[in-house]
Amino acid sequence: MTSFAGSCLCGRVSFTVGGLPKRIGICHCTDCRQESGSAFTFYGIWPAGQFEAAGETAAFSGRCFCPHCGSRLFSLDADEAEIKLGALSEAPTPFTPTYELWIKRREPWLRPIEGAEQYEEDRPASPT
């Protein structure tokens, strides 16, 4: 099975995810911009059972980061693991976003990702 590994900047937190992500997105919302310190956040969503982490993390509003170097890493809930794809060891990643969120806040100099679904705000919830 395919797997991907990543870590924080100082290496005290590491993680792996197995298989391919369920979906890949970028988000331009205010929270993601402020949390990342950039114009958007690039992330992948995996089933929570395919995610493992080692090392001490801290969290703010469900977003886990390394308390030593401050690297933003992942968010977890009972069903899904949202991984910041910039934290993966492999760069560039093999992933292309399939959707963009909060495009009404996208910087005007950024062009839409070709072929990706575009959402003014959040994407609709997936059917269960």
User: What pLDDT is recorded for position 86?
Assistant: 96
Domain count, the chain: 1
The model's pTM? 0.91
Q: What is the per-residue burial (b if ≥16 Cβ within 10 Å, else e) of 108-125?
A: eeeeebeebeebeeeeee
Domain extent for 33: 3-118
User: What pLDDT is recorded for position 127?
Assistant: 58
User: What pLDDT is recorded for position 124?
Assistant: 85
User: What pLDDT is recorded for position 57?
Assistant: 98
Q: How far apart are CA 101 and CA 33, in angstroms?
A: 12
User: Residue 47 corresponds to which tokens in the numbers above?
Assistant: 């089933």
pLDDT digits (tens, 9 = 90+) for 52-74: 999 999 999 999 999 999 999 99
Residue 4 has pLDDT above 80, yes or no: yes
User: What pLDDT is recorded for position 125?
Assistant: 80
pLDDT digits (tens, 9 = 90+) for 21-56: 999 999 999 999 999 999 999 999 999 999 999 999
Specify whether the CB–CB gap between 113 and 26 falls below 8 A.
yes
Query: Taking the CB of residue 99, how many other CB atoms lie within 10 A of it?
Result: 17
In a domain, 51, yes or no: yes
CATH number at 106 reads 3.90.1590.10
Between strands 80-84 and 23-27, the pairing is unpaired
Provide mean pLDDT across the span 90-110: 96
In a domain, 127, yes or no: no
Three-state DSSP class for residue 105 = helix
In a domain, 53, yes or no: yes
